């Protein structure tokens, strides 16, 4: 009797694990590799945070792909996993760049050097189109 109970418990646990794994991925949109560069006053904006906000407001739960700018000014977008890209669509681009001279534990601190000009998705003048395939976003040269 105990063997049957153990087997039943294993079968139920395996079934639950499979159903959870399959449910978690069914809502993922297809994503496409996307990368770009951010410069501030002609220099790489190391540590700046780039976020894409969908301009299609029909889905309030839509993902917001994002990236941190590397020391050479480059970034690669992530949505579900590191560097997986972004869903196809049109986006407002927000960028917040805190002073790299005020680092604490590898994180930039201090005021936004861009003074919030690109922080609000409703006010930023920056937009980008992500298309199926690989997207190389034109460089953002901010001042």
Return the CATH number of 34-142, one of 2.20.25.90, 3.30.2270.10, 1.10.3720.10, 2.60.40.10. Answer: 2.60.40.10
Residue 84 makes CB contacts below 8 A (sequence gap 6+) with: 31, 33, 77, 78
> Per-residue confidence at 106, pLDDT binned at 50, 70, 90?
low
Element (H, E) at 17: helix 2-26
Read off the pLDDT of residues 34-69 as tens digits, 9 standing for 90 and up.
Answer: 999 999 999 999 999 999 999 987 777 889 999 999
Residue 51 makes CB contacts below 8 A (sequence gap 6+) with: 64, 65, 66, 93, 94, 95, 121
């Amino acid at each position: 009797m105990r063997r049957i109970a153990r087997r039943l418990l294993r079968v139920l646990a395996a079934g639950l694990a499979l159903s959870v794994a399959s449910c978690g991925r069914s809502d993922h949109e297809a994503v496409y590799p996307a990368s770009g560069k951010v410069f501030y006053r002609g220099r790489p904006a190391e540590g700046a945070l780039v976020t894409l906000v969908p301009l299609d407001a029909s889905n309030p739960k839509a993902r917001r792909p994002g990236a941190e700018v590397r020391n050479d000014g480059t970034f690669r977008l992530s949505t579900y996993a590191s560097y997986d890209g972004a869903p196809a669509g049109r986006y407002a681009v927000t960028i917040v760049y805190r002073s790299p001279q005020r680092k604490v534990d590898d994180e930039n601190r201090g005021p936004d050097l861009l003074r919030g000009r690109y922080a609000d998705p409703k006010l930023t003048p920056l937009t980008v189109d992500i298309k199926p395939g690989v997207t190389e976003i034109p460089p953002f040269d901010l001042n």
